A and B are shown apart, each in its own frame.
Chain A
Amino acid sequence: MEWETVIGLEIHAQLSTKSKLFSGSSIEYGQEPNTQANVVDLAMPGVLPVLNAEAVRMAAMFGLAIGAPIGRGNVFARKNYFYPDLPQGYQISQFDKPIVELGHIDITLEDGETKRVGVTRAHLEQDAGKSLHEDFAGMTGIDLNRSGTPLLEIVSEPDMRSAKEAVAYMKKIHELVQYLGINDGNLQEGSFRCDANVSVRPKGQEEFGTRAELKNINSFKFVERAINIEVERQIDLIEEGGEVVQETRLYDPDKNETRSMRSKEEANDYRYFPDPDLLPIEITDEFLEEVRKTLPELPDVKFKRFVEEYDLSEYDAGVLTANIATADYFESVAKSADAKLAANWITGELSSHLNKEDLSINDSPVNAAMLTGLIKRIEDKTISGKIAKQVFEAMWNDEGGKDESTADKVIDAKGLKQITDSGAIESIIDEIIANNPAQVEQFQSGKDKVFGFFVGQVMKASQGKANPAQVNQMLKDKLSA
């Protein structure tokens, strides 16, 4: 039988605020345990939550970016459950009146087609603390620094039909929240997390199959693998006459399998009710207009503009707009240097250097001004593309400073200036011809391949500095004379 996969994703994005959703504690990552947990975060008796305005603004911004209505009187609700990393005994979340209502986002599929994925809702809620299960003589250690950090939970419609589509959607949201500056995109530190609801149904059947929820998958690669392995499991199960049970499953990347977390499932009865400690959140037209003014250019718009304005290929525009830091870097270079060269250098040399050292473009030793200086010298033929790589390498290793004049300083210091003086090139060519009579004879008897040998010799003699186009032309003239 032919099966169809149905996937919906729940993404938890930590909002890049300074303080927590309901308290003035810092949300900075990686601090000493429990040094950023105050009486509110610890849920001491008598404390009251006070809502962070910035979290509201960020959530509204996301809603506007996905074309969703913003809930005018959205409401916080209590989701009740007991777990030691949640001292309140309930999570303050949103239930039937979320801040962001139905919106959508377009993803690009492998065949280049665009598909629209519905975003059912996005709501504000508190993150939980962390439980550490090792090394405490039969006890569990609790760190509440993360407790109360603002999260935006972004829930998709069950619109994805393959693991690849799910990853494309996840990447698109990941890109968007970083563009908006509302999330740092860090999957390793858990500031961007994903749960996947996965089911299968016979192709053509309208009704959905029973779904399993895959929890906390912390990389794009694992999302794809986890979904594929879960789909395989469900199909095998049904084909062997079994039934899929609605449950939460955990993906184990080491064994590449999903396994049941059923113990927790039985207790899931959250008894949501409006939190009496919090009033509805007022969203006014004026507020939304203010937020709309701060919306940056969104990835799809930027992509189109890069293709049109800079005449880039769709591939290059895609790579350059994949994150806002790269897009900004590119535009900073392209405003005063050749855009195509800028695109080539950023997607080529710069990317490979960054990948090799596992650096983000913001931490690149070669900044946009330095690359601009370099590209200008390629444009005005001071150096060839090949020599430019040497200059780039030197700048990468911190030679010559940190601004647009750095490339010039390196070129001067290393004497890398391209030789365009035809007299100088001619004397090198004459010498090479004089020293290699056998090759000259071969060339003149019709062995064209030897030409490359001459070019190589001249470039070598000039330490790569002779202008290649001039060398070609002059060699041709001399040898054919």
Chain B
Amino acid sequence: MSLTPEEVKKIAFLARLAIKEESIEQYSEDLSGILHLVDQMDAANVEDIEPMAHPQDAMQRLRKDEVTEINQREKLMENAPATENGLFLVPKVLD
């Protein structure tokens, strides 16, 4: 199984990664290599084996429903490039 340049571009777009046109072929090879590895795993006999949702054979621990956090807006906003009236500002998105 080998990925087409279009598939590579689509994957990059979905991950919001900018890639150079000349690197596409290399990415295609690398990603196809990973898929090939997965194909090999497909060959393993897993009959009668229950699929696991997580590699650890454990169950989720739960938290009590309590408000434990305080307002740290000023501190958290120090990381943001642009803020106004307590809002984070981002380039305009519409739809």
Contacts and interface: CB of A to CB of B under 8 A. Distances in A.
Interface string A79-94: 0101110000000000
A280 B54 contact: yes
Nearest to B82: A139
A53 B61 CA distance: 9
Contacts of B10: 269
Given A282-B59, A282-B60, A37 B86 contact: no
A73 B53 contact: yes
Interface in A125-145: 131-133, 136, 138-144
B54 A53 contact: no
Given A50-B63, A51-B62, A139-B89, A38 B16 contact: no
Interface in B42-94: 53-54, 56, 58-69, 71-73, 76-77, 82, 84-94
A52 B62 contact: yes
A53 B58 CA distance: 17
Contacts of A32: 73, 86
A215 to B, nearest CB: 11
Contact of B94 (A56, A75, A97, A133): A133
B37 interface: no
A72 to B, nearest CB: 10
Contact of A279 (B59, B71, B86, B91): B59
B8 to A, nearest CB: 14
Contact of B87 (A36, A51, A141): A141
Interface string A244-286: 0000000000000000010110010101001010111110000
B95 interface: yes
Interface in B8-29: 10, 13-14, 16
A24 B88 contact: no
DSSP class of A's interface residues: helix, strand, loop or mixed?
A: loop
A263 B94 CA distance: 10
Interface string A43-86: 00000001111111000000000000000010100001011100
Given A138-B92, A142-B87, A18 B54 contact: no
Nearest to A39: B76
A213 to B, nearest CB: 14
Contacts of B62: 50-53, 56
Nearest to A131: B93
Contacts of B14: 80, 267, 269, 271
Contacts of A55: 65
Contacts of B82: 139
Contacts of A143: 86-87
Nearest to A28: B67
B90 A84 contact: yes
A35 interface: yes
A82 B77 CA distance: 21
Contacts of B56: 279
A276 B54 CA distance: 7
Contact of B93 (A23, A26, A84, A269): A84
Contacts of A280: 53-54, 59-60
B30 to A, nearest CB: 18
B90 A261 contact: no
A274 B54 contact: yes
A2 to B, nearest CB: 36
Contacts of A18: 65-67
B93 A53 contact: no
B59 A34 contact: no
Contact of B71 (A17, A36, A138): A36
B93 A97 contact: no
Contacts of B53: 73, 75, 97, 274, 279-280
Interface in A1-44: 17-19, 23-26, 32-39, 42
Interface in A428-473: none
Interface string A194-212: 0000000000000000000
Nearest to B76: A42
A80 B16 CA distance: 11
B69 A133 contact: no
A24 B63 contact: yes
Contacts of A23: 69
Contacts of A73: 53, 59
A227 to B, nearest CB: 22
A399 B57 CA distance: 66
A206 to B, nearest CB: 34
Contact of B68 (A19, A37, A133, A139): A19
Given A279-B56, A280-B60, A26 B89 contact: no
Contacts of B91: 139-140
B89 A140 contact: yes
Given A24-B67, A37-B73, 15 more contacts: A18-B65, A19-B66, A19-B68, A34-B73, A38-B72, A51-B61, A52-B63, A84-B88, A131-B93, A136-B87, A140-B92, A142-B90, A269-B10, A279-B54, A279-B58
Interface of B: 10, 13-14, 16, 53-54, 56, 58-69, 71-73, 76-77, 82, 84-95
12 contacts: A19-B67, A19-B68, A34-B88, A38-B69, A75-B54, A82-B16, A133-B93, A140-B90, A141-B85, A274-B54, A278-B60, A280-B59
